[in-house]
Structure 1
Amino acid sequence: MKQDEPIVDMITCFTDIINGLRRFDRKFTNGELVSKMHRSLSEDWNSLRMLIENTKDVNTYPLEEIYGTCMTYELNNAKTKKKTRRSTEEMKEPPKRQIVLKSTNDEGSSNANMSDEELDDLVLLVKKWRGF
């Protein structure tokens, strides 16, 4: 199994290989198929592999049930990775800066005394900080 390969692709490939070998009259026991399936899983699947090996009898464990268990594990693992990735990205994101402008109410200062260039610069500054 390749790293980050979907389990459905791996199962399809595994089934194709087994069916091809069966055409040459090669017979497999259930235990052999389950063992081969386990060995073909990548390192990302070690926890599931160990769980199955320690809790189930490999010789009697149906291959279809392993397929279902692997698909369920992949779905749950993908959700966990997505949550972890999102929280990691949020932690890396720098905090947003905010600017507060002090308002003065002096009689001598009014917008009427500002030139058009100064007003344009002020508008651009406010737009930049507000994200427009």
Structure 2
Amino acid sequence: MKQDEPIVDMITCFTDIINGLKGFDRKFTNGELVSKMLWSLSEDWNSLRMLIENTKDVNIYLLEELYGTWMPYELNNAKTKEKTRRSKEEMKEPPKKQISLKSANNEGSSNTNMSDEELNDLVLLVKKWRGF
């Protein structure tokens, strides 16, 4: 199995190969098929492979059950990878702070004459923005 290959593609390829070998009168036991499928998984599937090998008897474990186990695992794994990717992207970009100041536009006069309340608001805003 190739890295990041969908499990459905791997199952299809495996089935094609097995059917081709059956055409040459090659017989496989269920245990052989399950073992070969588990062996052909990529490293992304190590945890599930080990779980199946340690808890199930591969000689009686059906391929259909194996496929049924893999489908939800793959969907869950894809969601987890997407969440991880998003959180890494968010960590790279620092949050953008937005501030707005009150405009005191009096024609003909300068903006340096602020009331005490406006000045206190501005000081609090700067302190909050700088993290004081």
For the aligned pair, the TM-score class normalised by the smaller chain equals 0.7 to 0.9
Mapping 1:35-46, distance limit 5 Å: 35-46=35-46
- Report the counterpart of residue 62 of structure 2 in structure 1: 62
Q: Where does structure 2 lack aligned partners over 5 or more consecutive residues?
A: 112-132
Moved more, 6-15 or 82-91: 82-91
Moved more, 38-47 or 92-101: 92-101
Distance apart, 1:100 and its partner CA: 3.3
AA paired with 1:72?
P
Cα-Cα RMSD = 1.7
Q: Which of structure 1's runs of 4+ aligned residues deviate more than 2 A?
A: 97-107
Mapping 1:79-98, distance limit 5 Å: 79-98=79-98
- 1:38-77 CA-partner distances (Å, limit 9, x unpaired): 1100000000000000110010000111011111110111
Distance apart, 1:7 and its partner CA: 0.3
Distance apart, 1:83 and its partner CA: 1.4
AA paired with 1:52?
I
- Report the counterpart of residue 109 of structure 1 in structure 2: 110
Distance apart, 1:105 and its partner CA: 5.8
Give identity over the alignment, percent. Answer: 84
Q: Where does structure 1 lack aligned partners over 5 or more consecutive residues?
A: 111-132
- 1:13-57 CA-partner distances (Å, limit 9, x unpaired): 000000000000000000000000011000000000000001100
AA paired with 1:21?
L
Distance apart, 1:12 and its partner CA: 0.1
In the alignment of these two chains, the number of paired residues is: 110
- Report the counterpart of residue 5 of structure 1 in structure 2: 5
